[in-house]
Amino acid sequence: MKLNVYAFGSALVDIQLHVMDNVFPELGIEKGNMYLTERTRQEEIIRHLLGTSFQLDNPAEDIKTAPGGSAANTVHGICSLGGTAGLCGKVADDPLGAFYISRMATCGVKFNSTPGPGVTGSCVVLISDDAQRTMLTCLGTSSEIAYCDAREDLLSNSNYLYLEGYLFDSPLATETMLRAIDTARKNNVKVALTASDSFCVQRHKEIMLKLLHGAIDLLFANAQEAHALSDTETIDDALRVLSGMCKNIALTDGAHGSVLQFAENRLEVEPFMISAIDTTGAGDAYAAGLLYGITNGYSLADSGRIASFYSSRIVSQLGPRYSGNIVQELKSLRLNA
């Protein structure tokens, strides 16, 4: 089966809660940050917020949960748009792992579904009134991806291999992704990388820059990540530096829109203005829209519009999985494939 995209990413179950700003000092955390933590700490925070007993292995039905992770959100988006995608991720043989496998199958993503020992990764996402997200992540087994977990038949028959920068935090996952790049190159599969976040760039700048010189065909980064990678302070300077390493760049800048620098072709993509409720998954949705477009016969300009539109729909609701009919809504854009 030919896929548009085969991705490697952290398989995390997202638990999303809307909170008031006063809870952050109470919890001893700073709004907008991402924290690596243990499951017991996640459960302690949720119990504090809800005032009830709570265990992640048996979350209450009224708590919004979803199979998440950055790359997982992107491949889900590709399938929602009508494309084809797969994910190499790792879950454990526990209730959250079973939940993850079931939901990924429902949305059409080809997911390696053999669970392992340990606990499935989870991310408690605290969403404040200004649409910022504060994440408390227990990685669990999510970063323990070995090459044997991958579906090489799917990888070698995809248009793009998509790599999640967060996985560089794991030496095993890093080694696995490097092997996946070799397989992609041998099978004429293009390689895309998402920088994930500026702190991730700071931790793994050396290997990211090394890969950008020849191994990566398309880089996804927001303005902060691009500045961290390129040691620059303006969008123009960041694009100049990064395009000297990587042929194709997709750089997003929130309400200012985005820029696509593909070889010598620079394209400014206007944002779709909307009142943001939750920015969780905005960049993942943008990557989904662009990858869907360029692998399904759309022009670069129309692919950018799909990416911008889909991202705007994601931030208009709570959570990274769009609840509306995105295929139907895209008809308003009058695209030409």
Query: Residue 189 maps to which CATH number?
Result: 3.40.1190.20
Q: Per 3-state DSSP, what percentage of the chain is helix, strand, and coil (rounded to 5)?
A: 40, 20, 35
pLDDT on residue 337: 62
Q: Name which residue leads in pLDDT, 59 or 314.
A: 314
Q: Is the pLDDT of residue 183 over 80?
A: yes
Residues 245-262 have a mean pLDDT of: 95
Q: How crowded is the C-beta side of 12, counted as CA atoms within 13 Å?
A: 27
CB count, 10 Å around CB of 104?
Answer: 24
Euclidean distance between CA atoms 315 and 70, whole angstroms: 15
| pTM of full prediction above 0.75 | yes
In total, how many domains does the chain have? 1
Question: Is residue 297 assigned to a domain?
Answer: yes
**What does DSSP say about strands 190-194 and 158-164: parallel, antiparallel, or unpaired?**
parallel
Question: Is residue 210 assigned to a domain?
Answer: no
Going by C-alpha positions, the residue among 105, 99, 93 that lies closest to residue 58 is 99
pLDDT on residue 82: 95
| 202 Ramachandran zone, left/alpha/beta (phi>0; psi -120 to 50) | alpha
Question: Is residue 204 assigned to a domain?
Answer: no
Going by C-alpha positions, the residue among 137, 169, 130, 138 that lies closest to residue 31 is 130
Question: Is residue 43 assigned to a domain?
Answer: no
From residue 160, how far is each of 166, 246, 288, 307 by CA, in Å?
Answer: 18, 15, 12, 16
pLDDT digits (tens, 9 = 90+) for 90-122: 999 999 999 999 999 898 999 987 898 999 999
Query: Which of the four pLDDT bands, split at 50, 70 and 90, describes residue 318?
Result: low
Question: Is residue 40 assigned to a domain?
Answer: no
Question: Is residue 134 assigned to a domain?
Answer: no
Spatial contact of 144 and 121, defined as CB atoms under 8 Å apart: no
pLDDT on residue 60: 58
Q: Which of 119-123, 271-275, 298-302, 303-307 shows the lowest per-residue confidence on average (mean pLDDT)? A: 271-275
- The range of the structural domain enclosing residue 185 comes to 3-11+69-119+141-194+272-333
In this structure, what is the dihedral angle of CA atoms 95, 100, 103, 107, given to the nearest 10 degrees? -170
Question: Is residue 299 assigned to a domain?
Answer: yes
Question: Is residue 249 assigned to a domain?
Answer: no
What is the pLDDT of the chain when averaged over all its residues?
91
